[in-house]
């Protein structure tokens, strides 16, 4: 077996969890999702972050939604799916488990309010604007669900 398989240049996986935060836009009659933008890269995505010791992916997704966007709500028990991405600044790859979170409230005061931008968009627009192709696929899956999770 080649030692190159174990070299420091071999990318490692970092396990993360994230939330697709959604709400019903009553006036437009459609579901909207919250996109979070990095001021550094300009890419649009969802609240996500590292799974801390002792946390489940679901708990991490809920925590990240508040830390990055001030969102509180009801999080689905089962994950919608996963996606993988890489950062230009890291040799590692990031594997993200994604849960749906129905938004009940949004705080104006949250830990990352000065370093994040955000916007509510229809799911179709989120599919086009997502910074990672596999995240776009999850938005497409959400759009195609036979039973919309919005009540």
Please answer whether residues 17 and 62 qualify as being in contact, where contact means their C-beta atoms are separated by less than 8 angstroms.
no
Question: 95 burial class (0-12, 13-18, 19+ CB within 10 angstroms)?
Answer: middle
pLDDT for residue 11 is more than 80: no
25: domain CATH number is 3.90.79.10
Q: d(Cα 28, Cα 103) in Å, to the nearest integer?
A: 17
Q: Annotate 71-92 with DSSP letters as a single string.
A: EEEEEPSS--EEEEEE-TT-SS
Mean of the per-residue pLDDT values of the chain = 86
Q: Is 72 part of a structural domain of the chain?
A: yes
Q: Is 130 part of a structural domain of the chain?
A: yes
The model's pLDDT over 50-95, given as tens digits with 9 standing for 90+, comes to 999 999 999 999 999 999 999 999 999 999 999 998 887 778 899 9
The pTM of the full predicted model, rounded to 2 decimals, is: 0.85
The model's pLDDT over 15-51, given as tens digits with 9 standing for 90+, comes to 999 999 999 887 877 899 999 998 877 889 999 999 9
The model's pLDDT over 136-147, given as tens digits with 9 standing for 90+, comes to 999 999 988 844
Counting the structural domains of the chain, the total is 1
- Say how many C-beta atoms besides its own lie within 10 A of residue 140's C-beta: 14
Q: Is 150 part of a structural domain of the chain?
A: no
Domain that includes residue 79, residue range: 12-144
Q: d(Cα 119, Cα 69) in Å, to the nearest integer?
A: 10
Q: Is 131 part of a structural domain of the chain?
A: yes
Q: Is 121 part of a structural domain of the chain?
A: yes
Q: Is 6 part of a structural domain of the chain?
A: no
Q: Is 48 part of a structural domain of the chain?
A: yes
Q: Is 101 part of a structural domain of the chain?
A: yes
């Amino acid at each position: 077996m080649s030692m190159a398989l174990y070299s420091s240049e071999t990318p490692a996986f970092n396990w993360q969890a994230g939330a697709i935060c959604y709400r019903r836009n009553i006036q437009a009659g459609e579901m909207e999702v919250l996109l979070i933008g990095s001021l550094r890269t300009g890419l649009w995505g969802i609240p996500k972050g590292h799974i801390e010791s002792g946390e489940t992916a679901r708990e991490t997704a809920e925590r990240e939604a508040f830390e990055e966007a001030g969102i509180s709500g009801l999080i689905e028990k089962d994950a919608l799916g996963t996606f993988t991405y890489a950062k230009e600044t890291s040799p590692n790859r990031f594997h993200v488990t994604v849960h749906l979170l129905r938004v009940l409230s949004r705080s104006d005061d949250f830990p990352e309010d000065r370093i994040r931008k955000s916007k509510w968009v229809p799911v179709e627009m989120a599919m086009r604007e997502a910074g990672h192709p596999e995240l776009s696929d999850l938005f497409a899956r959400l759009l195609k669900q036979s039973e919309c999770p919005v009540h």
